[in-house]
Amino acid sequence: MATAKLTDNHLTCVICTEVFTDPATLQCNHTFCKSCLLKYTKTQPEAIQAKSIPCPSCRQLTRVANPDSPVEKWVSQLKPSHVIQGLMDDLGESSDTCSVCKEDGETTPGTMWCTICDDVFCDGCLQLHKKMPRLRDHKVIDLRIHGNEKPKEQRFMCRIHKDEKIKLFCKDCRMAICTVCCSIKHRKCDDVETIDAMTPLVTETLINETRNQEKKIKTYNDNISSTNSEIKNLLINAQVMKDQVQKERMVAVDVLLRKEKKLLDRIDKLTETRVQELKAYRKSQEIDLQMRQQRYEFTDKAVKANCVADMYDIYGTVAVAYRDKDTTEDKRPIPSTIVFTHDTDKLRRYVDEVQLGKANTVGGLSDRTSSPVLMHEIDCRSGDMFYDLRDVVVLTVHGIKVITVIDYLHRRLSTCYVPSKTSFNTCLQLPSQPMRIAKVGGARAAVTLPDTRQIAFINFDPEPTLQSTVRTRRKYGGLAFLNPSQLLVGGYDGRASVDVLDMKGNILKSISTGVIRNPHEIHVSGEKKLVVSEVTVKSIVSVTRKGKTVFTYTPTGDRALTYPQGITTIRTGDILLVDRDTHRVIQLTKSGQFVRDVLTQKDGMHYPHSICLDDDSVLYVNNSRYVRVYGFEKH
């Protein structure tokens, strides 16, 4: 990292944001610190494979002189930037003036620096400094020998005994002290350590604190961003429902004008209430974010400056805060949306007593006491044809919800667009019979085609198009999205593991899945844990990305699983599981404890296959012929 402090942006490395240290220029003419460039290169496996150094700014590759040498030597082979180094040297040449003469309005160049007083003196003023009994033992450095650069020696003096250096740390009182303080005020303390012994611990604690604050800041930023998105979706949803209400009003305009206004007002009120809740939450997150940012910047500055005095100023409070870690739960309002339901046939029959519909706040499964409300059912049947819908996923494309199912029997993918949601109206033929579908970011999804050992990538605009297919070494059915460059897949060969693939179908590694030998159902939770199941093993298993089992859920008696299939998780981490042959959707905690049966045969569940949640926490459950869409009413 750079150590000088220059303000010219042309002499600043964009990686470390500080003045260059040992600058090197790439073929694209961008310049960086050599150490920063090496660290960045090590994070780019594709560039390393190409035996080149990637530019962090423009991504252009610079071929190395000796590609067979270790990566650590590539950057050192670059020619140094003599021009930039010369500019840094020119701008860095400056001499301090004598601090005593400065008080008299003079600008006499300073030649000596007192490490204790932290002041610069000319030769004459230094003699006065030496004549004072309490100052004559101070260590003085000749700046002429060091090229007008003060050595990295820092003053750390006792605030009570001004001439005493801080040499000790009292662990009992959590204070940095001098030897006089120790002998007078800390005689009864049991644990006193030297500063030299304590400094590594202090530095490590503060570094950990900055990392903790970075994580907190990211969480707050993510929360604010998602809250903004939720507010936007609520407002869009409110407008969509208003349009629906107005269309219903056209059935019986004269009779329904009064009821229309009443219902519109209720939608506005419910939306406003929900928006205000989210705005209040956003405000609290912004305030907390600002506090964390300030705390982070102060602590980070102390650590980067390596100023022991500043670090100990904040160490006591930081250590206490670090010990008593923030356990405050995220006070995010329970995710919910507002839905509008109507009955046009009844409207036409009973005009005088008609209700245009109901506008209620519909929450998500985060509220474990909420009740499911069937919003609508999307039928895939056409005449007497048989269907076998294996999986469902919902994407948002250009503000339109695209409900997508895969039909194993007819080897195709079908879509339905909200608000036109009564039937599937667009189909895409696939190369072979599909097994699972998963969102892979934005308006894109992947589909496993086990019979031909392929994975197909589908693009939505919002109509689906087959973008590409990749071949795989093994036959895969289960599928989940891990990150923008990796997929999780499960096979049929009884290896009790899932494979991590890149987007070209190459196996990167395998992750153990415990008792689940052929994981056909795979889901990645918000905590990046894997939840897997298969129909022949009456269990579901949660494992970490390193293959360590978090829990195995194998209930017995009335709750025993008979044919476990689709899995998803909600924002709180709770798990939703479909058990096909008992016609249930089951809710578990993230640690695998039973919560409740969310949907049963009494709610119209009939051999459910798979399950998913959209961005508004609306639940989609499909069987072989239809998709049912549920919201959840708060109590």
Amino acid (one-letter) located at 396 = T
**486 assigned to some structural domain:** yes
The tally of domains found in the chain comes to: 4
Q: Tokens 């040449």 belong to which residue?
A: 93
**Same structural domain, 481 and 629:** yes
**How confident is the model over 93-131, as pLDDT tens digits?**
444 678 888 777 777 888 888 877 778 888 888 888 888
Q: What is the DSSP letter of 351?
A: G
Cis peptide before 419 (omega within 30 of 0): yes
Round to whole Å and give the CA distance between 206 and 212.
10
**How confident is the model over 580-608, as pLDDT tens digits?**
999 999 999 999 999 999 999 998 899 99
Domain C-terminal end among 57, 92, 127: 92
**Same structural domain, 62 and 144:** no
In the prediction, which pLDDT does 391 show?
A: 95
In the prediction, which pLDDT does 174 show?
A: 83
**Same structural domain, 226 and 108:** no
- Smallest CA-to-CA distance from 403 within 415, 389, 412 is with 415
In the prediction, which pLDDT does 634 show?
A: 73
Round to whole Å and give the CA distance between 415 and 406.
9
**3 assigned to some structural domain:** no
**388 assigned to some structural domain:** yes
**356 assigned to some structural domain:** no
The CATH number of the domain holding residue 509 is: 2.120.10.30
**Same structural domain, 211 and 313:** yes
**447 assigned to some structural domain:** yes
Burial of 115 (0-12, 13-18, 19+ CB in 10 A): middle
Q: Tokens 């407002």 belong to which residue?
A: 235
Domain C-terminal end among 64, 92, 120: 92
- Smallest CA-to-CA distance from 332 within 571, 587, 633, 569 is with 571
In the prediction, which pLDDT does 444 show?
A: 95
Residues 6+ apart with CB under 8 A from 161: 178, 180, 181
- Smallest CA-to-CA distance from 216 within 295, 279, 283, 281 is with 295
Question: What stretches in the chain show pLDDT beneath 50?
Answer: 1-8, 92-95, 152, 327
In the prediction, which pLDDT does 503 show?
A: 94
Residue 342, SS3 per DSSP = coil
In the prediction, which pLDDT does 159 show?
A: 74
**Same structural domain, 569 and 448:** yes
Q: What is the DSSP letter of 326?
A: -
The CATH number of the domain holding residue 72 is: 3.30.40.10
**Same structural domain, 213 and 163:** no
**Same structural domain, 326 and 475:** no
The CATH number of the domain holding residue 175 is: 3.30.160.60
Q: What is the DSSP letter of 558?
A: G
**How confident is the model over 18-29, as pLDDT tens digits?**
777 778 888 877
Structure tokens at 214: 């970075």
**343 assigned to some structural domain:** no
Burial of 420 (0-12, 13-18, 19+ CB in 10 A): exposed
Domain assignment of residue 120, given as a range: 99-194
In the prediction, which pLDDT does 428 show?
A: 93
Helix (H) or strand (E) holding 269: helix 253-305
Bridge-partner residues for 169, per DSSP? 176, 193
Instruction: Say if pTM beats, i.e. exceeds, 0.75.
Output: no
**337 assigned to some structural domain:** no
**Same structural domain, 70 and 130:** no
**How confident is the model over 194-248, as pLDDT tens digits?**
988 888 888 898 899 888 889 888 888 988 988 898 888 888 888 888 887 887 7
**Same structural domain, 310 and 239:** yes
Residues 6+ apart with CB under 8 A from 304: none
**Same structural domain, 165 and 85:** no
**Same structural domain, 221 and 185:** no
Domain C-terminal end among 74, 92, 110: 92
Residue 15, SS3 per DSSP = coil
**76 assigned to some structural domain:** yes
**Same structural domain, 104 and 62:** no
In the prediction, which pLDDT does 7 show?
A: 46
